[in-house]
Copies of this chain bind each other. A is one copy, B any other.
């Protein structure tokens, strides 16, 4: 069973590789990424490369490739800063990947990591029927990718499934160029005694999910049978929980972190992007299909303490 993960050296790709290997069945996992993995997952093949290069996917995908997890992307703030780069990576490379898959003898399962960023002009709480009207380049490129994946699936070129991921909290490692990067930083850094800066207001609400839950949902979505996905309905809002920045910091304190390490410097560009995203979702379809959310912010912080700091704590009191 051959599996290709684009952006596979990133933290989400590494966690996905680990989870796929833990499932058993001895999958052969090939990751393409511009960067080296921080900690390579044993048994995984890493191919350094730019997915925008012509033929980039020919080195990875072969007739026996069964599954593609397309995680590679230029993230939100970077796509906003560099329009052409975002279009090239998020749109053109996605299409090139779909074209490569189209030439496979059997349509592979194709998982496309989309995002809450597809919602811009929308009510604060969106549901499965809310139209995607993005207000940032990243969201536009993701919604176009969704439509391409849906169409290639309808044509029978792939067995495509698109998942709109919540903001992932707490990401390990260093801050990145996602506008939502602060949502991890304001917890991750203080939990390790480090200072950090919060660029948004304390009452900003976001839709979040732990890496562990996101990975479980991505794999669940991959494993669902083909007939779970109807044409025109191959895009799914994934479950999560709504938390405000203030609620995150309260959780930080309950977990023994010092919220005093967070200083405040509002950034209009970040606020404009993140502020246009949903505050929450009613994920009825996902629940019916068996996807699950974290319980609360304490559980999300607990995942970080356990998985990243090797520090299983007693459940803090709510």
Contacts and interface: CB of A to CB of B under 8 A. Distances in A.
A77 B143 CA distance: 24
Interface stretch (A5-13, A106-114, A230-238, A249-257): A230-238
Nearest to A157: B83
A220 interface: no
A130 B232 CA distance: 13
Interface string A85-122: 00000000000000000000000000000000000110
Contacts of A231: 120-121, 135
Chain A contact residues (Cβ within 8 angstroms of B): what range?
A: 20 to 34
Given A135-B232, A232-B121, A147 B143 contact: yes
A140 B151 contact: yes
**Copies of this chain in the oligomer:** 2
A148 interface: yes
A181 to B, nearest CB: 22
B155 A83 contact: yes
A48 B143 CA distance: 34
Contacts of A121: 230-233
A162 to B, nearest CB: 12
Given A134-B232, A135-B154, A143-B147, 9 more contacts: A121-B233, A133-B150, A133-B232, A133-B233, A134-B151, A137-B151, A140-B147, A144-B144, A144-B147
